Structure 1
Amino acid sequence: MTRFVFRTCAFVSLVLGGHLAMADESSGTLRKITTNQQISLGYRDASVPFSYVGDHSGKPMGYSVDLANKIVERIQTKTGVANLKVKYNLVTSQTRIPLVQNGTVDLECGSTAVTAERQKQVAFSYGFIFVKGQLLTAKDSGIHGFEDLKGKKVVTTAGTTNERYIKRYNAEHNSDISVIAAKDHGEAFKMLETGRAAAFYMDDALLYGERAKARDPQRWVVVGEQQSREIYSCMVRKDDPQFLAVVNEALGDLYRSGEINGIYQRWFEQPIPPKGLNLEFPMTAELKAIIAKPVSDPVE
């Protein structure tokens, strides 16, 4: 009798466990996407060359956008939704995390750095770029590094890790820097271009993007030793491992197949819209290492 009860309980547990596993797999973001037959993608409108609006169509384009589209293809295959609709939601440095948290945005692939603080709020995919904090300034500004910023106005983008870093640097070095926080990267560069700031502090890849779309790119130069090191990743909601696994599966396949190289070259080593300028930003050794062994943790 005892053996019968044990076998019966084991069978029930197996059946219930299987149903719970199936329920977990069909819950969360994947279930929402399947039910609505729609996925919501967060995009940036001025993060060249990652995610930006570069023509009259109003549709986002860029390196991160291409990666998001590849992920959408994989999600479509996984969910079996033949005509999966893509809804684009504009996000900023300040709104991107809240909009992912509250479900307005299912997937955000832009220019978001992975930090331990942000990992408490959202989940991150494998990294897709390695960036270093530097300065963009005019060639004749006399600024060659952070030691030349004393008493000057420096612009950065509000709500970024760069904003926190430059303020901390200013306090620690007693540099008397006047830190200006712009709403986005485009506005920050505009302040630099019009003389309202002497330098623009941001991640190097973004600085090269702003330089490329300037009226006179040759007037501007990226300078200074790196002051921060980060990876960018796609954001999804926390506690949804099934959805994150699909996102990482798509990126992992791009890395293993080598397709990532062509996507990268398209946006960083070839002429890009809107002016057909080349960022001339070859793939770094650090990014090659991430592609060879994908990671989603903050840079140590």
Structure 2
Amino acid sequence: MGKSHMSVLMGAVLAGLTWPAWGQDSATLDRIAATATIRIGQRVSSVPFSYYSDDRRVIGYSQDIMMQIVAAVRDQLKLPALTISLAPITSQNWIPLLINGNLDMECSSTSHTVDREKKVAFSNTIFVIGTRLLTRADAGIRDFADLAQKQVVVTAGTTAERALHRFNEEHGIGMTILAVKEHDLAFQELQAGRAAAFVMDDALLYGARAEAPRPEDWIVTGTPLTREAYACTMRRDDPAFKALVDAAIARLMTSGEARALYDKWFTQPIPPNGMNLDWPISAAQAALYAAPNDRPIE
């Protein structure tokens, strides 16, 4: 990852909201208060969660949620201004960057797992997904068993990669699994014909499909290998900071604002080219908005 950061001045807070005084020490909040800077890790090709617009701004569903969290932090600390330092991350480096203190939090398209809880803390869930596959509509592939003896692409370091290897080994279907650094590179491999399918979280696959020149040429299909919860992540052992983040997310969900964000990013045209994922809300996502929680789905 490059060392360059994009710094944006946060000049507004959530109107009408007040946040409780936590009455606990927080190393993260202390550092943010001392520097008037919050350091956020963001994915740059996780459409529509966290990705670059044409002018290289980070936008998306998760980015909108993150900005609400930042506003809550600024309000809690009573800062006149809060600088946001955004750093691009990958599936391989986000955990080390959090642990070593280079980031205060990460909010993009990260799956909450019990294994990862040993390394980082997870916020309230922001999205519920399933691991499925993207393939050509005319390829005759409808489920994972149809990928026998075929090359399949997946994003390296993701829970989808682990689930795909596990399925391949347990069912002995002889897939060749190609792991690449980013989601957009994986879709490029699929479009170039070097893979029969791209396996990833269904939300990201719908995003990749929407970016294609002819979305109708591609389908998202397959019985989910796993169902998972996306959440923002932070360093462990800072309950006061996590409590603030969780409260911001819970208020966003129970107020109806999160549902409006869902409609904005998943059912309407979005930047940069007016693409539309055309993905109605699931029962699991609607239930999450009604009852926010920080539990993994395993």
TM-score over 0.5 (shorter chain): yes
Judged with a 3 Å threshold, the aligned counterparts in structure 2 of structure 1 residues 23 and 74 are, in CA distance, closer, same or farther, namely closer
Measure, in 2, the Cα distance between the counterparts of 1:248 and 1:133: 25
Give the corresponding residue for 2:228: 230
Give the corresponding residue for 1:260: 258
- Residues 155-234 of structure 1 correspond to what in structure 2 (within 5 A)? 155-234=153-232
Compare 283-292 and 81-90 and name the one that shifted more: 283-292
Give the corresponding residue for 1:151: 149
Asked if the contact 1:46/1:53 (under 8 Å) is kept, the reply is yes
Asked if the contact 1:270/1:280 (under 8 Å) is kept, the reply is yes
Measure, in 1, the Cα distance between the counterparts of 2:25 and 2:83: 19
Percent identity of paired positions between Structure 1 and Structure 2: 45
Measure, in 1, the Cα distance between the counterparts of 2:105 and 2:286: 24
Instruction: Tell me the amino acid that sits aligned with residue 150 of structure 1.
Output: A
Secondary structure of 2:54's aligned partner: coil
How far 1:298 sits from its partner (Å)?
A: 1.4
Compare 290-299 and 200-209 and name the one that shifted more: 290-299
Measure, in 2, the Cα distance between the counterparts of 1:27 and 1:240: 6
Secondary structure of 1:202's aligned partner: strand
Gaps (5+ residues) in structure 2?
1-20
Asked if the contact 1:114/1:231 (under 8 Å) is kept, the reply is yes
> Which of the pair is proportionally richer in helix?
1
Give the corresponding residue for 2:28: 29
Give the corresponding residue for 1:15: none
Instruction: Tell me the amino acid that sits aligned with residue 206 of structure 2.
Output: Y
Give the corresponding residue for 2:9: none
Instruction: Tell me the amino acid that sits aligned with residue 30 of structure 1.
Output: L
TM-score of the two chains, using structure 2 as the length reference: 0.91
Give the corresponding residue for 2:51: 52
Secondary structure of 2:145's aligned partner: helix
How far 1:25 sits from its partner (Å)?
A: 2.8
How far 1:141 sits from its partner (Å)?
A: 0.9
- Residues 1-20 of structure 1 correspond to what in structure 2 (within 5 A)? none
Instruction: Tell me the amino acid that sits aligned with residue 157 of structure 1.
Output: T
* Superimposed CA distance per residue, residues 249-270 of structure 1 (whole angstroms, 9 cap, x where no aligned partner): 1111111211111111110010
Q: Which runs of 4+ in 1 moved over 4 A?
A: none
Measure, in 2, the Cα distance between the counterparts of 1:162 and 1:148: 17
Measure, in 2, the Cα distance between the counterparts of 1:297 and 1:81: 32
* Superimposed CA distance per residue, residues 152-178 of structure 1 (whole angstroms, 9 cap, x where no aligned partner): 010000000100111111111111100
Secondary structure of 2:243's aligned partner: helix
Secondary structure of 1:116's aligned partner: coil
- Residues 77-92 of structure 1 correspond to what in structure 2 (within 5 A)? 77-92=75-90
Gaps (5+ residues) in structure 1?
1-21
- Residues 118-157 of structure 1 correspond to what in structure 2 (within 5 A)? 118-157=116-155
Asked if the contact 1:213/1:274 (under 8 Å) is kept, the reply is no
Measure, in 2, the Cα distance between the counterparts of 1:26 and 1:79: 13
1:74 has 2:107 as partner: no
How far 1:232 sits from its partner (Å)?
A: 0.1
TM-score of the two chains, using structure 1 as the length reference: 0.91
Give the corresponding residue for 2:112: 114
Asked if the contact 2:52/2:59 (under 8 Å) is kept, the reply is yes
How far 1:27 sits from its partner (Å)?
A: 3.4
